[in-house]
A = this chain, B = another copy of it.
Amino acid sequence: MIRPLSISALRSALLGTCLLLAANVFARGTGDLGIVIERADGSVQVVETSTNSSLGRIEGLGDLSHASAVYSRDEQFAYIFGRDGGLTKIDIIDKKIVKRIMQSGNSIGGAISQDGRLVAVSNYKPGGVKIFDADTLELVANIPATYGDQGLQSKVIGLVDAPGQKFVFSLWDAGEIWVADMTDVNKPVITKFKDIGKNPYDALITPDGRYYIAGLFGEDGMVLLDLWNLDAGTRRILDGYGKGEKKLPVYKMPHLEGWAIAGNFAFVPAVGHHEVLVINTLDWSEAGRIKVHGQPVFVMARPDGRNIWVNFAVPNNDTLQVIDTQSLKIIKTLTPGKGVLHMEFEPRGGQVWASIRDEDRIAVFDTETLQQLVTFDAKKPSGIFFTSRAHRIGL
């Protein structure tokens, strides 16, 4: 009678462990998860926003300065684009690297297709876009950014996804915008827009995926492409974008992907100036300028569009400012600490996370009271990316 009992006890114990394991590790929704890029250590911290805690760390991702991420459509996987040309697929449930490849010598960001099947990376060296199977990370298409008569290859920037299995990107050296339709992965259809302006340095796409806008480093303006009307070609807008009484040194190029659209207004960092530009999206004209604490880097809208949060380049990168989009006034100046690099809003906007690199921590704020709710450790945190991005166009 003893043996069966002990086996039964063992079975119970093992099943208990099994259920416990399942409950703690696996049986969990992924809608409230996120990752924080820890640039110095080449690691990623997995976090959750329901109780604002850390769930673990994934290491060995290489050079993560300026790294960004996209999510698989089921939110189990994130694809991390490293500056060193590394593309790493991580499993945020099991907290491990699934696959890691060095896909180029130097890269600057990526995107995931509308259907979630394709991951695209934009490269500086060699210049072009490589497109991988999201499941296996096998190369499915290589689009070298060849331009001119000598077979030169341009650096590629401002890569975004667009509806209809498209990727849109800009060629820094060539001054071109390309739209790649990947409906048939074996036959990418590339539409090229040439002579769009000098040195596009970054770009954004509106939340509905219709307008692609690139900033021009070599000229005083921007360029807009209406993806619903490609035949109309590109159009210059905001010729006063970088204008001012005197030129200021640019401490950090602003990130265009952080541009905020709220109602009919877009809020954008003025290059080099201590200003946020307000743009009327009905005709893409300048609608005003808001004086701010420093040179803006990210200008981000709370998901309901009622407030805009702004961080700044050195020497003002210890500060965050909050702008009311009705009055266009600054309603709060926060100084969370040195090196505020990035912000990420909860998808419904109740809280916002900020990475404070030089203090090795993340701070979470209530977006109504504008009070800090909690702070926790992270190793030189930079980008913060929540899984809700999986369901957004252009993110």
Stretch at the interface among A71-79, A152-160, A168-176, A185-193: A71-79
Report A85 CB to chain B, min CB distance, Å: 27
CA A350 to CA B117, docked complex, whole Å: 12
Query: How far apart sit A27 and B31, CA to CA, in the bound complex (Å)?
Result: 14
When distances are taken between beta carbons in the complex, the residues of chain B under 8 Å from A358 are none
- Nearest CB on B from A144, distance (A): 27
Q: Mark out the residues of chain A between 242 and 261 whose CB falls within 8 Å of any chain B CB in the assembled complex.
A: none
Nearest B residue to A261 via CB reads: B208
Q: Verify if A59 is at the interface (C-beta below 8 Å from B).
A: no
- Pick out which of these stretches binds chain B: A291-299, A332-340, A386-394: A386-394
Per-position binary interface string of chain A over residues 25-54, scored 1 when its CB falls under 8 Å from any chain B CB and 0 otherwise: 111111111000000000000001110000
Identity of the chain B residue whose Cβ is nearest the Cβ of A18 in the assembled complex = B18
Within the complex, what minimum Cβ distance (angstroms) separates A125 from chain B?
31
- Complex Cα spacing A48 to B74, Å: 9
Chain A interface residue bracket vs B: 35 or more
Q: Decide yes or no: A76 and B29 within 8 Å by CB, A10-B11, A208-B304, A348-B114 being known contacts.
A: yes
Q: Give Cα distance in the complex from A11 to B11, angstroms.
A: 7
Q: Do A348 and B391 touch (CB < 8 A)?
A: yes
A230, CB-defined interface residue at 8 Å = no
Q: Which residue of B lies closest to A74 (CB)?
A: B29
A1 interface hit (Cβ, 8 Å): no
* Contact code string A1-23 (vs B, CB < 8 Å = 1, else 0): 00100110011001101100110
Residue A94 at the B interface, CB < 8 A? yes
Answer whether A76 and B28 are a contact pair too, CB < 8 Å, given A14-B11, A18-B15, A304-B208: yes
8 A Cβ contacts from A80-101 to B: 93-94
Cα A50 to Cα B74 in complex, Å, equals 8
CB-based contact A350/B76 at 8 Å: no
Nearest residue, chain B, Cβ from A390: B31
Binary CB contact string for chain A from 103 to 147 against chain B (1 if under 8 A, 0 otherwise): 000000000001110000000000000000000000000000000
A114 CA to B345 CA, complexed, in Å: 13
The answer, yes or no, to whether A164 is at the interface (CB within 8 Å) is yes
Contact (Cβ within 8 A) B32 A303:
no
Q: Is A194 interfacial (CB 8 A cutoff)? A: no
Is A150 interfacial (CB 8 A cutoff)?
no
Q: Whole-angstrom distance between the alpha carbons of A10 and B74 in the complex?
A: 34
A-B CB contact pairs (8 Å), 27 listed:
A6-B7, A7-B10, A10-B10, A10-B11, A11-B14, A14-B14, A18-B18, A18-B22, A22-B26, A25-B26, A26-B26, A29-B76, A31-B73, A31-B74, A31-B76, A73-B348, A114-B350, A163-B350, A164-B368, A165-B350, A208-B303, A228-B326, A264-B282, A282-B282, A304-B393, A348-B393, A388-B391
